[in-house]
Amino acid sequence: MNAGILYIVSTPIGNLEDITLRALKILKEVDFIAVEDTRHSLKLLNYYSISKPLISYWSEKEKIKAEQIIERIKSGQSCALISDAGTPGISDPGAVLIRRAIEEGISLTPIPGPSALIAALSVSGLPAEEFVFIGFLPPKDAERRKKLKELAVESRTMIFYEAPHRILETLSDTIEVFGERRAAVVKEITKLFEDIIRGTLSDILEVLEGKKIAGEFVIIVAGREKQDTSVDEALKEVRILMKKGMGRKEAAKTVAEQYGLSKKELYDRSL
């Protein structure tokens, strides 16, 4: 018997009408749907009158449920994998099942759709030619600041996700580590109370301190501007990265790429 197919289906990140015709077609055709939270997913499925058997793969049981889903697919059934919002596996559960399907040689088909990070970047006004998606920063203060320090030399536009109860702390830490940068924060994207705040990091923090904090946030921060940097100045950057635990070779490579310097020269000088 031929195995079924695992469809990785992107679903709306807020507005239920942000779903593709192909996604609806797949959801109606598959044998069953793997969902993060049945209560949440039923709102979408009921809205489009889709009735299919559901299996929940919520966090604590993700590994166990992944094996059950794999066995059903191997028996010939097709499955649509969806998360509560956006694309499964992208700062969302689902990665465990996807990896297991690949290991078992199961066919995977992506059904693309809404993406909070791309939607937010498109209205940020910041450079979008090159960007890096960080996702959620560590929740603990010390670990978050450590991660931000590692990103301080990043020249590409950076995109973060953040929860409402940490947004003010994260912005404060970002200002402390990065200094003033151009930025944008998008709140509740595609939802009723969508809000876009642009300006410097301090401008945005000041605005948010005067607002009611609720909903999910996407933070977009401009990368560090490239400038003429002497080897001596670059060596200071290498030492900083090494103190944070980065290996000498990797630190030299990172700084050299940021400032257009010779990796070999910087490495040799750092010895």
Domain positions in the chain: 5-114, 117-221, 231-270
Asked: is 117-221 a CATH 3.30.950.10 domain? The reply is yes
The answer to whether 183 and 199 have CB atoms below 8 angstroms apart is yes
pLDDT averages per 10-residue partition of the chain, 271 residues: 88 95 98 93 96 88 89 96 91 88 96 94 95 95 93 93 95 93 95 94 94 91 75 81 85 79 79 78
122: exposed, middle or buried (Cβ count in 10 Å: 0-12, 13-18, 19+): exposed
In this structure, which topology does domain 5-114 adopt according to CATH? Cobalt-precorrin-4 Transmethylase; domain 1 (3.40.1010)
Instruction: Say if pTM beats, i.e. exceeds, 0.75.
Output: yes
Confidence (pLDDT) at 209: 92
